[in-house]
Amino acid sequence: MSREVILEIQNLKKHFGGLKAVNDVSFKLFKGETLALIGPNGAGKTTLFNTICGVYKPTGGKVFYEGKEIQGLKAHEIARIGIVRTFQIAHPFRDITVLDNVVLALGLDDYKGLSRIFKLSHKKKNVDRAMELLEKVGIREQWNKKAGELSLGYMKRLGIARSLALNPGILMLDEPCAGLSFDATRAFMKLIEDLQKGGTSIIIIEHDMHVTMGVSERVVVLNYGEKIAEGNPYEVQRNPQVIEAYIGKEDESA
Ligand SMILES: Nc1ncnc2c1ncn2[C@@H]1O[C@H](COP(=O)(O)OP(=O)(O)O)[C@@H](O)[C@H]1O
Ligand SMILES: [Mg+2]
């Protein structure tokens, strides 16, 4: 059975002057798949995310989302068509409640211009949907707390709830477990598994190899802006080039 491709990256490049931060990277993401993007510090992972989601204009190459070319679109246009990077809206408004943060994000879903971004609409439909999303990410009981009072782990869950409010086709997570305790990381992995069961397509950058190997079906490895390996977590972990570039470096510094 061939799987449906939701995102295809073709020879994507992002150069900063002479620095080839992302160079000729190609890969596909299948619908419902979780793909991990790994590589040592400075490998170009975040730049690749920024180039896919329109924060940066690519120096070259193409991005297809559901078969349509989207490179060159602006970040908010790309978010609206369904590629949502949590960081874009992960920083909650700290002085309003958890619920209101999600209601605001629901408002973003149908915004037609900047002026409508801050429209808080407490229609029953929006409140119900927001509570559903809080339930989904496991922070329903915190609905009436100020977002600024949440722990980091809960704050990140709120970020996911706000991202899900945009009905993403693809969720892009840049090191979602950074700074989380062991327990919060485990809980976050469980949340990712729940999203997978719900059919969400995910690209995740994560330093924690345990998380990467635990949640992803496939792994793409970057080094100096180039893709050096791609495969299932088992294959990739045993790839000599990857060990050299990434795992080897970690061992040296341990
Ligand atoms: N806006 C920028 N301007 C110039 N160089 C950048 C910029 N963003 C990232 N870089 C450089 O691009 C390379 C890749 O960085 P980054 O994508 O952040 O790596 P990673 O996320 O894999 O750690 C690094 O050498 C970094 O210094
Ligand atoms: Mg990064």
247 and 136 housed in the same domain: no
Query: Three-state secondary structure along 12-67?
Result: EEEEECCEEEEEEEEEEEECCCEEEEECCCCCCHHHHHHHHCCCCCCCEEEEEECC
Predicted local distance difference test score (pLDDT) of residue 113: 44
Ligand 1 pocket: which of 12, 19, 222 to mutate (most atoms within 8 A of CB): 19
Cα-to-chain-centroid distance, residue 111: 22
What ligand is nearest to the CA atom of residue 50?
A: 1
pLDDT by residue, tens only, the chain of 254 residues: 678 999 999 999 999 999 999 999 999 999 999 999 999 999 999 999 999 999 999 999 999 999 999 999 999 899 889 999 886 555 788 999 999 999 988 876 554 444 445 556 777 888 999 999 999 999 999 999 999 999 989 999 999 999 999 889 999 999 988 888 999 999 989 999 999 999 999 999 988 888 888 899 999 999 999 999 999 999 998 999 998 987 556 555 44
Is 106 found in the same domain as 76?
no
d(CA 222, CA 23): 10
- Report if residue 88 sits inside a domain: no
Task: Compute the distance from residue 139 Cα to the ligand 2 centre, in Å.
Answer: 27
**pLDDT at residue 18, as a whole number:** 95
State the pLDDT at residue 114: 43
Residues 211 and 112 in one domain: no
pLDDT value of position 111: 45
Q: Report which protein residue has its CA nearest ligand 1's atom 26.
A: 42
Return the pLDDT at 195.
92
Nearest ligand to the CA atom of 47: 1
C-alpha 115 to ligand 1 mean position (Å): 32
Same domain for 198 and 150: no
**According to the model, what pLDDT value does residue 115 have?**
42
- Look at the block and give the residue holding tokens 């120096």: 59
Query: 127 in a domain, yes or no?
Result: yes
In a domain, 175, yes or no: yes
Total count of domains within the chain? 2
Last residue of a domain, one of 149, 167, 185: 167
Asked if residue 184 and residue 110 are part of one domain, the reply reads no
Closest ligand 1 atom, residue 47 Cα: 17
